[in-house]
A and B are shown apart, each in its own frame.
Chain A
Amino acid sequence: MREEMRDRGRQDGLSPKQGEGGGEMAFGNGDGQKSGQKGIVPILLIAVGVLFFLVMLVLPLVEVIYRSLKDGLESYMNAVTAENTIAALKVTLIAAVIALAVNTFFGLCASWLLTKFEFPGKHVLSVLIDIPFSISPVIAGLAYIMTFGRMGWATPIVEQINEWLGTDISLVFSIPGVVLATIFVTFPFVSRELIPVMQAQGSKEEEAAVMLGARGLTIFRKVTFPHIKWALLYGIILCAARAFGEFGAVYAVSKARGKTFTLPLEIDALYMAGSADSITQAFAVSSLLVALAIIILILKQIVEYCGKDNR
């Protein structure tokens, strides 16, 4: 699949164009053979890369799975089907789905704004959007509490709105709070995937469409969307992965186990319960999250693969 990517690169004029059949041979490399894949250097590099991967990423995973199965399959199943775990799974999914919807909508708007127009303050805006990427989850949680918590300055406003609407929505220590915190930490994920693609695409096609008299939404649907749909899906998947795993920010606004706990919080609760059994259960629930993550990452691979086929 990478070859296809590179082939597209060639056609885009990044490298000398090659003939249909013969040109390919002239370089002496079929698609199966990669450049310089002989000699000691590639083998060394692969060895180093794979070793790093095994030690840094696979070993912690093996540890999680090993410890989750320490007490046998039955207690593993008990842990992952426990009432609290199921409740936490539900909250996690609700929060992730809403965060995805909001961030996708935002990501589309932001990438359109930042790639199709020039305006003063554009770079600052783009940096502001990226802030949640690098912010400490501790700060994210603190910021929400200071704004929407009982002592927060925005709380009277929220209460006023509740009064008008006749509702009783609280933005902290409740599911909406969890959703907001999740949105916060995953905010730039979609826009960040879209912006480079839309930048590379340029605006010529959209401009042509405008000249032909097309309306905004039609242009987006017919012209822009086909180019960015795979990048969009990729961003959504990344966003989902991050949403499932968020701990710090959600921890600040969610305290009720079995009600507003997400999976990472449930894991923490089990681990902190401190008995040998509950620690094993904590790892069992972690393995659930790992499985979720792996499913998502495999999905991501499929999306990448399809994306390269269909373009």
Chain B
Amino acid sequence: MRKNTWTRKLAVAALLACTVLVTGCGSGEKKKDSDTIQMTNVSYDPTREFYASYNKIFADYYKEKTGKKVEITQSHGGSGSQARSVLEGNEADVVTLALAHDITLIEDQGLIEEGWLDEFEGNSSPYTSTIVFLVRKGNEKGIKDWEDLTKSGVDVITPDPKSSGGACWNFLAAWEYADRKFGGDEAKIKEFEGDLYKNVLVMDSGARGATTTFVENGQGDVLIAWENEALLTLKEYPDDYELVTPSVSIKAEPSVAIVDENAKKNGTEEVAKEYLQYLYSEDAQKLIGENFYRPSNQDILKTFGETFDLSVEMCTIDDFGGWDQAYEDYFADDKIFDEIYSK
């Protein structure tokens, strides 16, 4: 008898606890507005300004074309963690990430259909960028090329390749330079990279953190940075920094894709496709150039000849056997990066 009331009370209590939880969570129910289309674009850090402007021109364009209103929610962060969030349930209709590899991660989980890379022009990259150096005004250490970063007394700022996808590109660009210089002598290339990474003063967790360390906290002589970020910093502080383009660099192709499964679920396939396709329009390509990414449209790229150094020789990730191979060869535990860095 006594035990009976005890268990009953226990059940009541558990029920009570659940009610509190459910009422707690119920407030977050999604409201769906029928006359506006809601869409989410999961992107990475440096594209904030660009997509803020682009979403406006796209909404105008789409309204004119179809008469429907479209509202786009932006999500930004480190490219790798953004891709991860989509895997974990962040309901992105489109992803516009820094590296094709991050989109492949989502594809591997079946959220994006195979063949996305050919869905849009130029490997689904409406804009590209490359790796450059940002130095303090006057360039006192005389930094001209990768080689100068290995000299003693030069303090380099670059993020941690083991935590930031973008930082891997810095490493690979330097590798390409050394490869050409030493004619493929791997021991010498490793030594070169070892010397370079010995000069790294602060290794932030991501590209944004590294920029902050260099610009806001005044650390280091040279920042290895994405061209678009370096140009943005230059625009903000024209009197404090200079941009140095190395002789050899790597071409980064930030990629875009429709997250098919989510788009199907949300009924946004059509608008998502339109959204990414419109990135290749003349207006959008101009906007891309104004936001310091290299437009994929060669004619428009040429009109930005003053902004970008178009003479730089660029290798691509394919020279390293594609991203997955490169990651496995260079950055996995106990592979080349660990080897040269812990020496």
Contact = CB atoms under 8 A, between A and B. Distances in A.
Given A94-B27, A169-B26, A179-B28, A150 B89 contact: yes
B147 interface: no
Contacts of A109: 13
A267 to B, nearest CB: 14
B237 interface: yes
A176 B22 CA distance: 10
B35 interface: no
A51 B236 CA distance: 37
Interface stretch (B40-48, B59-67, B267-275): B40-48
Interface in A53-111: 94, 98, 101-102, 105, 109
Given A174-B30, A272-B208, A105 B20 contact: yes
Given A98-B24, A171-B25, A274 B212 contact: yes
Contact of A176 (B13, B28, B40, B48): B28
A60 to B, nearest CB: 15
B140 interface: no
A275 to B, nearest CB: 6
Contact of B85 (A98, A255, A272, A274): A255
B74 to A, nearest CB: 6
Given A255-B77, A272-B76, A169 B25 contact: yes
A61 B145 CA distance: 42
Interface in B68-125: 73-77, 82, 85, 87-91, 109
B82 A255 contact: yes
A273 B51 CA distance: 12
B10 interface: no
Given A149-B88, A150-B88, A183-B24, A257 B29 contact: no
A33 to B, nearest CB: 48
Given A256-B74, A257-B75, 6 more contacts: A101-B20, A102-B20, A167-B26, A169-B29, A183-B24, A257-B74
Interface of A: 94, 98, 101-102, 105, 109, 145, 148-152, 155, 167-177, 179-180, 183, 255-259, 269, 271-276, 279
Interface of B: 13, 20-21, 24-30, 40, 42, 45-46, 48-49, 73-77, 82, 85, 87-91, 109, 208, 211-212, 216, 229, 232-233, 236-237
Return the 7 tightest CB-CB contacts between A and B, nearest first. A175-B28, A150-B89, A149-B88, A176-B25, A176-B28, A255-B75, A173-B90
